[in-house]
Structure 1
Amino acid sequence: MTREELSQLRDLNREIRRDQLRLAELEAAAKSVTGKITGMPGSAKSSDRVGDYAAEIADLRGIIASNIQRCWYELNRLHRYIASIEDSQMRQIMTLRYVYGYTWQRVAFEIGETDEQYPRRKHNRYLALDDNDENDETDVVT
């Protein structure tokens, strides 16, 4: 698995949090919009701001729901990959980094190290070896 594939869950979670903040902003804006009753006829250019907000809110809720589904898929895929790793410490490093989204410093502390370089280097070596193993398996001898 590549670093980009491993990072999908963390990236999706960030995207969902950002969309949820935007959703809260839209909902607050929609609640604060009130129509003006003046007794005067409206212009043909007037727009339905509440309707616009409602449509955008509905779209954003759909996007969030879809991304949550993708998160579950990525989480399950990530757990299967991590479970296939033989080294217990590497499983811990991968889980802390990619499932929990910890920084390298926090990963180091969680596994009993003080230097963030230790888990990062071990991780990078593992991915390089894993990539080489995958390439060896896909090579076809003719």
Structure 2
Amino acid sequence: MTLEILKTREELRNLVDNYAYLGDEKKISQQMDLFTADLTYKVYMNEVLVADVSGRADMERDFNLHSSQVKTYFTLNGQHTVQLAGDSASGVSFTQIKMIREAEGKDLISDYSVKYDDTYVFQNGKWLIKDRVAHFVLVETRSFNP
């Protein structure tokens, strides 16, 4: 494995981690800078397609709407594997996400176990996410009593 390959793998891991950091902090416009302008983003819950977005403007609108309904996000990234092919790459990453929302005056916490299938491209000197498919494999919601 060359130093260049190791550097690229680290850059891609940082891209995935930055997506989580910015999302947790609700910095949606900065999070959009991690994607190509022509991005696609799909979300499956229990193998059912629940979201299908194309382009930064639509994604930013959807992410802002979603984050306005969430009090707190907490994301923990796990495994991340990539296959490199010049100025493009594919990757799989696993994530645990916790979200606290209010419903009927009570706080609820949702735990999500997510697998992301990504396509990355190297543009203008940096790696970006071009396509992301989120598979919400396990979902649990319960009352939250801190």
TM-score range, shorter chain: under 0.3
Higher helix share: 1
> Which structure is higher in RCO with an 8 Å CA cutoff and minimum separation 6?
1
TM-score (norm 2): 0.23
TM-score (norm 1): 0.23
Higher strand share: 2
